[in-house]
A and B are shown apart, each in its own frame.
Chain A
Amino acid sequence: MKKLLLTTALAALATSAQAEVKVGMITTLSGGGAGLGLDVRDGFRLALAQAGRDDIELVVEDDQQKPDIAVQVADKMIQSERVDVMTGIIFSNLAMAVIPSAVNQGVVYLSPNAGPSQLAGRGCHPNYFNVAWQNDNLHEAAGAYANSAGYANSFIMAPNYPAGQDALTGYKRMYEGELAGEIYTQLGQTDYAAEIAQIRASGADSVFFFLPGGMGISFLKQYADSGVDIPVVGPAFSFDQGILQAVGEAALGVVNTAQWSKDIDIPVNTAFVESFTAEYGRLPSLYASQGFDTANLLISALDKADPSDNDAFRAALREADFDSTRGEFRFGPNQHPIQSIYAREVIQEGDVFTNRIIGVALEDHADAYAAECQMP
């Protein structure tokens, strides 16, 4: 009997010493945006598997791209499953519904994609880290690229919702030329004939658009077929690996801006591209690289501190002491990335459409809201 008690006690000690860390991932795995969530999840899992970290328990749940579902899942993860760290949300409206309340309940949140301006400025929080970008960043880079390409009369276009308005604001923040036209389309719009006719009539020398997912596929196919040949610039969201195959030749030669590309020539990225392709049978996207980086950031911090020691854990995260697939990576005062953003061009490699870096659009770029952030 004594012996049994002793073993039980030892076993209990052993489990507590192993310090299981529970990570809750809420991401979009069904509906039109599922491809993004899938890539983030797979990138994240790949990093955990490569590090051999079976002390990190990952719980994945689908938010169906609906804010109410995301909030429900978050409550369950925080209150009944008691996760230490959360991550995974793709869309900014869901992020705004979940993150402020989660970080106030003491959970550390690492954003692998959404970067709404509210959380970068006044709403910044010591428990909130963004590992991807602030929403405006890639659009700002597109504006900077337009200047360097000598464009002076842009036609700009985005869907009429908060991230769309941020996109046009971001482009205009850096772009120095005139505007030939500025239009808001409907969110989820699938036919762009009316907009293309306006572009044709506007006399623009360049077109900037932010139309994520299916909207971008529709626009690019219709634009290519319309015979209008004004050069197009956009953020990487309409040109990521997941949707380029659906756009096909219509995307060839289009310049887009991203903080990551499959051809960034550093060992960690080459290894990531190779191992992701081998594991999942498809090329990694921007989103996959963000999931991968998020997991590696988490692992680097766990090596130094335990999440139960909140201050030490956050300090370890702030150091960003990991090898990012995009090269140089560090956090600004609002815990958002300071990083370079590249201009990429869509090319064809055999049967596959993909991107190639043609230059740096913004070097060591921080977001515009950092000054408004006052960490307690």
Chain B
Amino acid sequence: MSTILVIEQVLNGLQSGVMLFLMAAGLTLIFGVMGLINLAHGSLYMVGAFAAAAVAGATGSFLLALLAALAAAAAAGVLVETLVIRRLYAADHLDQVLATFALILIFSEGTRLIFGSFPLYLDIPDWLSGPVTLPGGIEYPLYRLALIGAGLAVALALWLLIERTRIGIQIRAGENDREMIAALGVDISRLYTLVFALGAALAGLAGALVGAIQSVQVGMGEPVLILAFVTIVIGGIGSIKGAFVGAILVGLTQTLGSVFLPVLFRVFMDPSAAMSLGASLANMAVYILMSLVLIFRPTGLMGARA
């Protein structure tokens, strides 16, 4: 097990962590500000990826594709918020889960009606493809480095937005006391639509960025959604900072677990048993992490309120 391999795996974990953050940030914002459990967040991720694939196919430009992903996901978010979600703020969580689950089905079959059942093609642009050599002789795909950079940049921008702008103050106030900021004259329903669109756009961006190295197909959002929920539970529901820490932790646990657990078990077991036990345990690693966090910090790592 060379140092190079370990560093490469840490980079891989970091990269999957920052992409997970884009998903988790929107989810946690929406839950924090509006108290809404949005299962359809994975569908917005899929909308972003499909919009990017369609535009990249038509124009050949990856940057236009990213813009299209942002716009399409935000538009879908606004539509969903004004038509469906708005009626659910007062309802209890079970109703929200039911309605947003229905949205998953509608989005999935709707996408199939428009784009068909076969996966779409979306590739890395030429100027970001291929490996680069990092100091220490590590060969690493340039695109994955770009993903880490993009994810960190979005995290920073989001932090500035929340901490340093008027909208950010309103969002934070909305998290603390909905009735009071409405009474102070903030247009709460416009704020909600805005936050929802922001969360949706982040999910759409993640879908497009990740779609270029994965498969753009119906149902691609659901596995990520589950991980994003684990992330915000670990980080503390409603906290952007928590989502960031949680996402990096989940990304690293998952990547390093799948590589090093089988190696670890090989020390005291025969190789094939070690491999299958290691792989199974690696599947569970993030959930074990979540349980541990919940035992010692029931509100999550950065969760403020009980």
Report A's interface with B, CB cutoff 8 A.
29-32, 34-35, 38, 160, 165, 182-186, 188, 190-191, 193-194, 197-198, 200-201, 213-215, 217-218, 221-222, 225-227, 242-243, 245-250
The minimal Cβ–Cβ distance linking A200 to chain B, given in whole angstroms, is: 8
Whether B121 contacts A201 by the Cβ 8 Å rule is: no
Separation of A191 and B213 alpha carbons in the complex (Å) = 8
Give, as a whole number of angstroms, the nearest-CB distance from A67 to chain B.
17
Q: Judging by beta carbons under 8 Å apart, are A194 and B119 in contact?
A: no
Given contacts A186-B283, A247-B121, 20 further A-B contacts (CB under 8 A): A30-B112, A32-B217, A32-B219, A35-B119, A160-B280, A165-B276, A185-B279, A190-B214, A191-B214, A193-B12, A197-B8, A201-B2, A201-B4, A213-B119, A215-B215, A217-B217, A218-B213, A242-B119, A243-B118, A245-B118
Inter-chain CA distance A222–B141, complex, in Å, is 9
- Chain B residues with Cβ below 8 Å from A243 are 118-119, 215
B9: chain A residues within 8 A (beta carbon): 194, 197
Q: How many residues of B contact A (CB 8 A)?
A: 49
A183 touches B275 (CB 8 A): yes
Q: Does B213 contact A225, Cβ atoms closer than 8 Å?
A: yes
Shortest CB-to-CB span from B58 to chain A, Å, is 15
Known contacts A160-B283, A186-B283; is-contact A218 B215 (Cβ 8 Å): yes
Flag if B5 contacts A201 (CB, 8 Å).
yes
Q: Are B12's CB and A194's CB within 8 A?
A: yes
Which of B4, B118, B141, B143 has the most A CB atoms < 10 Å from its CB? Answer: B118
| B272 interface hit (Cβ, 8 Å) | yes
Minimum Cβ distance to chain A for residue B134 (Å): 12
Is B106 located at the chain interface by the 8 A CB criterion? no
A contact face: mostly helix, strand, loop, or mixed: helix
A186-B129 in contact (CB<8A): no
What is the distance, in angstroms, from B214's C-beta to the closest C-beta of chain A? 4
- What A residues does B212 contact at CB under 8 A? 221
B95-122 interface with A by 8 A CB criterion: 108-109, 112, 117-121
**Chain B residue nearest in CB terms to A184:** B279
Given A197-B9, A218-B214, A160 and B117 touching (CB < 8 A)? no
B16 at the interface (CB under 8 A from A): yes
Instruction: Tell me if B213 and A227 are in contact (CB < 8 A).
Output: no
Known: A32-B218, A34-B218, A193-B144. A242 touches B118 (CB 8 A): yes
